[in-house]
């Protein structure tokens, strides 16, 4: 390997990367600002100080530095975010999530451990990006049902996929690139299960950390809406359900005081013509014309309407909702649930819903009323409103947003929530399955499959353009862009080769195991700044050269390059699954450092011990 001579551009690139990593970690400036500054400085640097071309190194141009926005990995990640949002919005994975959550009766984290273990096993045989995409909505639902923040589960999900990718040659594209680079250097091809023995040991040790330690290091960071709703999720709303002809409620009998179609909902009164029936409702069978006065949380009401669609119409205070003024909004797929407070001095005070014609004036329907410290057993339309009452309203997106300008009520912006489109769950699941199967089998590249899935989610109505745009995370886009630009500059200036040469010069004369261990750590550090694929291609030939100089089996250094390049735990741009979970977990750059560095060091120490035995060093 020819010696790399340092250049001014190389040192400046090192400086920019160092400053960027510190800026990301300290979080004094936003990720977007730091990323844009990195791209701008690198572009200006190589525009005014072009890099002198060196043998075997790519030319650095402004075009190559800016090309990251069109990188297939970035496009794939953004498109998969849209596909995943379609799955969440339609509730297509609620059933498997409920089965996993049921495991928590045996142990609080058994459901999480089962999901993460499944991810690790699947990632050994499938591309780990679609595997993580499958499990992101499942983990979100599990976290929600276990009353935990998703921030404690998303990074462990990504790490489980990365660890699983270490167990077979096809588990990660990095493994295949290392194998190809080794063959080009005259070494035997790595067969399917050659790395499995060592990989299982590394993955097993890593999974113990991921399941038991990593969630404790991560913050319990809720979304803004979750923070605002903390302590109010248990509030009970008074609502009314009319049992109409053809309703699924007709003929239903209670079990242990609850009606099976309405779990989590307490029926306080059944109004049957002139008769009022109070609990307990022993041997009561619901009939057409019954009016049910119920008490339930917003979540229970939403889940009941999603599970039994005819309840949506049964809970309306008028026959139907008028079409939205925005003709582009789907008639039945763009509803929002939101809470409004009856304002002081409101014209609604002292009057009931029928008198104020709320539905006619606002085009929104009141689904329930919440009033503290008082038990209400009246029909919804008979309750006289008071200042401070909370109304649970349902309406089309544009109509709900228009409540901001209504002086009689105060819209709680954080409470706006898309009504699940459960009737579209099968459609979304088919699209999602098609994306995963075509990407995993190689029928289509991941980027093409993901883009196709995103388009189909929009075309079939599983998402509208507003929901799809909210699924995209601009932090991910600019962070990947900056990371690819730094990788291009580092590779083109020969920075990675230079650092490797200097390290080996410092370790000259050290035992082979120390050099192998140091080489692994060097590769693991670079894979968190460069892309893991670029790191694998760069360091595999370097490792083989070192093995020849030391007179040890080249396979030891080939495996060090392979496993080290997979240790992309410490930064969000280290691997695309890290980027996928950044939005759902509401993570900052420092969260990856806090959880990823200990795991990186643990895998490094484990590999060092295993290599000493496996390669007799």
- 616's CB contacts (< 8 A; 6+ apart) are none
- For residues 400 and 525, give the distance between their C-alpha atoms in angstroms, rounded to a whole number: 50
Which pLDDT belongs to residue 96? Answer: 66
The token duo for 503 is 């390290």
Residue 383's closest CA among 340, 352, 406? 352
280 cis-preceded (ω within 30 degrees of 0):
yes
Residues 191-208 as b or e (16 or more Cβ within 10 Å = b): eeebbbebbbbbbebbbe
DSSP-derived secondary structure for 145-170? HTT--GGGTHHHHHHHHHHHTTSSGG
- The per-residue pLDDT for range 257-304, each reduced to its tens digit, is 778 878 778 888 888 888 888 887 877 888 888 888 888 887 777 777
State which H helix or E strand residue 173 sits in.
helix 173-184
CB atoms within 10 A of CB 48: 7
Q: For residues 323-361, b (16+ Cβ closer than 10 Å) or e, as one string?
A: ebeeeebeeebbbbbbbbbbbeebebbeebbeebebbee
Structure confidence by residue, pLDDT tens digits, 318-375: 444 444 444 444 434 567 788 899 998 899 998 988 888 888 888 888 888 887 655 6
Could you give the residue range(s) of every CATH 3.30.70.1450 domain in the chain? 237-314, 335-420
The CATH architecture that domain 335-420 belongs to is 2-Layer Sandwich (3.30)
Contact 312, 360 (CB under 8 A): no
pLDDT, mean over the chain: 80
CA distance 499 to 3: 11
Instruction: Using alpha carbons, select from 40, 79, 19 the residue that is nearest to residue 476.
Output: 79
Q: How far is Cα 223 from Cα 149, in angstroms, rounded to an integer? A: 9
Please determine, looking at this structure, whether the domain spanning 237-314 carries the CATH number 1.10.10.10: no
* pLDDT for the residue numbered 556: 93
Q: Which residue is it, tokens 């990632």? A: 123
The structure tokens listed for 468 are: 């799809």
> Rounded to two decimals, what is the model's pTM?
0.62
Q: What is the DSSP string of 17-58?
A: HHHHHHHHHH-SS-HHHHHHHHHHHHHHHHHHSPPPP-TTSP
The reported pLDDT for the residue numbered 111 is 79
**Which regions in the chain score pLDDT beneath 70?**
1-4, 25, 27, 52-56, 73, 93-109, 126-127, 130, 145, 221-234, 306-307, 309-310, 312-334, 372-377, 413-415, 417-420, 440, 476, 496, 500, 531, 534
């Amino acid at each position: 390997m020819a010696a790399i001579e340092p250049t001014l551009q190389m040192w400046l690139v090192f400086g920019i990367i160092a400053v960027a990593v510190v800026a990301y970690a300290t979080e004094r400036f936003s990720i977007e600002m730091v990323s844009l500054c990195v791209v701008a400085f690198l572009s200006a640097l190589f525009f005014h100080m072009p890099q002198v071309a060196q043998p075997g190194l790519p030319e650095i141009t402004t075009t190559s530095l800016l090309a990251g926005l069109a990188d297939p990995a970035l496009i794939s990640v953004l498109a998969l975010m849209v596909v995943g949002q379609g799955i969440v919005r339609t509730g297509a994975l609620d059933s498997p999530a409920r089965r996993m959550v049921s495991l928590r009766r045996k142990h609080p984290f058994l459901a999480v451990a089962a999901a993460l273990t499944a991810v690790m096993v699947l990632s050994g045989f499938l591309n780990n990006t679609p595997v993580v995409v499958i499990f992101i909505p499942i983990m979100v639902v599990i976290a929600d049902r276990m009353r935990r923040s998703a921030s404690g589960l998303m990074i462990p999900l990504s790490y489980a996929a990365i660890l699983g990718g270490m167990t077979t040659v096809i588990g990660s594209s990095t493994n295949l690139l290392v194998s190809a680079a080794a063959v080009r250097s005259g070494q035997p091809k790595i067969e399917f299960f050659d790395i499995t023995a060592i990989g299982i040991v590394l993955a097993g040790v890593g999974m113990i950390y991921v399941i038991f330690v990593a969630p404790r290091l991560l913050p319990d960071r809720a979304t803004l809406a979750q923070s605002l709703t903390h302590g109010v999720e248990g509030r009970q709303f008074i609502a009314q359900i009319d049992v109409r002809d053809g309703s699924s409620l007709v003929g239903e009998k209670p079990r242990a005081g609850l009606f099976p179609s309405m779990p989590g909902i307490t029926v306080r009164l059944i109004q049957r013509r002139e008769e009022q029936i109070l609990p307990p409702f022993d041997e009561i069978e619901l009939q057409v014309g019954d009016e049910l006065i119920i008490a339930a949380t917003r979540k229970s009401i939403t889940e009941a309407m999603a599970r039994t669609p005819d309840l949506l119409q049964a809970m309306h205070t008028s026959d139907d909702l008028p079409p939205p003024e925005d003709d582009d909004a789907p008639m039945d797929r763009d509803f929002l649930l939101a809470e409004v407070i009856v304002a002081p001095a409101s014209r609604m005070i002292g009057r009931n819903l029928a008198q104020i014609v709320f539905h006619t004036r606002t085009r929104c329907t009141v689904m329930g009323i919440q009033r503290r410290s008082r038990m209400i057993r009246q029909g919804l339309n008979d309750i006289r409103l008071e200042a401070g009452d909370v109304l649970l309203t349902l309406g089309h997106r544009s109509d709900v947003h228009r409540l901001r300008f209504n002086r009689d009520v105060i819209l709680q912006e954080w409470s706006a929530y898309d009504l699940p489109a459960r009737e579209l769950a099968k459609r979304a699941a088919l699209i999602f399955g098609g994306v995963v199967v075509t990407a995993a089998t190689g029928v289509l590249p991941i980027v093409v499959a993901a883009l196709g899935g995103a388009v189909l989610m929009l075309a079939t109505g599983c998402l509208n353009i507003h929901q799809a745009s909210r699924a995209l995370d601009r932090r991910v886009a600019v962070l990947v862009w900056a990371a690819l630009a730094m990788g291009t500059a580092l590779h083109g200036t020969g920075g990675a080769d230079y650092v490797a040469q200097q390290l080996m010069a410092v370790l000259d004369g050290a035992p082979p195991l120390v050099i192998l261990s140091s080489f692994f750590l060097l590769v693991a550090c670079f894979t968190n700044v460069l892309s893991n694929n670029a790191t694998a291609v760069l360091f595999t030939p370097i490792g083989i050269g070192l093995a020849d100089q030391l007179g040890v089996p080249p396979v030891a250094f080939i495996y060090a390059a392979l496993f080290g390049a997979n240790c992309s735990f410490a930064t969000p741009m280290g691997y695309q699954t890290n980027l996928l979970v950044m939005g759902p977990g509401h993570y900052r750059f420092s969260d990856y450092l806090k959880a990823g560095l200990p795991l990186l060091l643990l895998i490094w120490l484990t590999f060092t011990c295993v290599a000493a035995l496996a390669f007799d060093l």
